[in-house]
Amino acid sequence: MANYLKFDIYDLNLREVRMNSGLNRLLVGMKNKSLLVIEDIDCSIDFKNMNNDKKNESNKSHNDEISLSGLLNFIDGLWSTSGEKRIIVFTTNYKEKLDPALLRPGRMDMHINMGYCGPNSFRILVSNYHAIDEHPMFEEIEGLLKEVKATPAEVAEQLMRSDIVDVSLEGLIQLLQGKRNKGRRSIGNGEDDKDEKLVVVEKNEEEGLESSAEDHETDQLVVGAVNC
């Protein structure tokens, strides 16, 4: 998305931010035309504790800890009006753990299920990393991608291993063949093939954004409001 829009990227780790005022300062310091990424939001904040009133809360200063109201203001409150053309992207493995107030329309404008890498996603990735649209190995790779579960991150990792196209594609074929063989062995042993859950955002020239979700749902990508 950042490449497509030509936006700067900011990666925010909420575990490193101790106070609501810290969130405010970070937002004010962001440039316009920027994309803020907060990964694994369900692991970064304990939403249950954020909503519980604590007995000793009256002894705390207003900016002592990050609160749900502070996070909501960070997204769409007073501080979000201090700039323009900003996108906030949250990723999560467990959407159900997030507070409904955070997910409601107006705060999270798009909820996208990200799936495994398919032929279309592969072509976008290989075009981004190697600037090619066709190759004799594409047919074999696309056939393997229809058989196995490979995340876009796994495919991208192989494509980045070498600047030589043939070497990268051969490595990807070996990876996919290994997954296929492992899957066959697992089926023979009566075991389920388990894959890691990863997230990637891809640019689609026609639609702007493509989730490439297939039969198996993986992570959730939540995109916040754009101030224009």
Q: Considering only residues 32 and 215, tell me which one the structure prediction assigns the higher pLDDT.
A: 32
Calpha distance 140→85 (Å, rounded): 41
Please tell me whether residues 144 and 91 are part of one structural domain: no
Residues 6 and 109 in one domain: yes
Verify that 24 and 97 share a domain, yes or no.
Answer: yes
pLDDT of residue 107: 83
pLDDT in the model for residue 140: 97
The tokens 């992570």 sit on which residue?
219
103 and 140 belong to one structural domain? no
Q: Say whether both 10 and 104 belong to one domain.
A: yes
Considering the domain architecture, whether residues 79 and 19 belong to the same structural domain is answered as yes
Query: 195 in a domain, yes or no?
Result: no
pLDDT in tens, 79-96: 556 556 888 899 988 888
Q: Indicate if 64 and 29 belong to the same structural domain.
A: yes
Instruction: Say if residue 12 is in the same domain as residue 106.
Output: yes
SS3 letters across 92-138: ECCHHHCCHHHHCCCCEEEEEECCCCCHHHHHHHHHHHHCCCCCCCH
99 CB neighbour count, 10 Å cutoff? 15
State what percent of residues in the chain have pLDDT above 70. Answer: 69
Tens-digit pLDDT profile for residues 103-159 = 888 788 888 888 899 999 999 999 999 999 999 999 999 999 999 999 998 999 999
Statement to judge: residues 7 and 63 lie in one domain: yes
Into how many domains does the chain fold?
2
Q: 221: which DSSP letter?
A: E
Domain of 128, in residue numbers: 119-189
Asked if the structure places residue 199 within a domain, the reply is no
Q: Strand, helix or coil at 45?
A: coil
pLDDT over 70 (residue 165): yes
- In a domain, residue 39? The reply is yes
The average pLDDT across 162-185 equals: 93
Q: Structure pTM?
A: 0.60
How far is the CA of 69 from the CAs of 13, 34, 206, in angstroms? 18, 23, 38
